[in-house]
Amino acid sequence: MSWHDWVPVPALMRQAWDATKLAVATRAIKKERALVLAQNNQVQKTFKRKEAVKEVKRLFEKGDYEGVARAVLPEVVVDKSFDLVQFWWKVWDIYWIFVLLRIVFTFIPSNSGYIHPDEYFQSVEVVVGDALGLETHRTWEFN
């Protein structure tokens, strides 16, 4: 029995070579996939500096502000901003509903008036001080 039989160098070299071939093949497949995705998902025509400035100026003078935004910003940002506009109007509707509720609650005769949260905090502090015998700061209302 020679030392070649019990030293695993040839097997390890073969495994390393196979791994290298696999990595090269995987990298080539990823490049091909990226090229196919780039060709399928082309966004817009890209302009160089002077052409980009002219294109933005043309869109702005035309009044196509969405086109200006799409020329300057990525598509995802512009799409999300339009989603936020829709969300804003929903929030604005909710705001006006609560304004109307506040006006209605103002004119209800059984309403005892505006509630000041500060008075609630101070009253709890005074009661806890009296009940537990702690030293608390008493405001002029409780002296």
Those residues whose C-beta lies under 8 Å from the C-beta of residue 10, and which sit 6 or more positions away, are: 4
CA dihedral 19, 20, 26, 31 (to 10 degrees): 170
Q: How far apart (Å, rounded) are the C-alpha atoms in residues 142 and 136?
A: 11
Query: Using an 8 Å Cβ cutoff, are 40 and 72 in contact?
Result: no
pLDDT of residue 97: 86
Query: Using an 8 Å Cβ cutoff, are 71 and 59 in contact?
Result: yes
Place of tokens 């969405």: 66
- Using one digit for the tens of pLDDT, what is the confidence trace for 91-134? 778 888 888 888 887 777 666 656 655 665 667 788 888 899 88
More confident residue, 141 or 43: 141
- 101: number of CA atoms within 13 Å, CB side? 6
pLDDT at 4 over 80: no
What tokens does 20 get?
Answer: 């290298």
> What is the mean predicted confidence (pLDDT) over 51-68?
85
pLDDT at 3 over 70: no
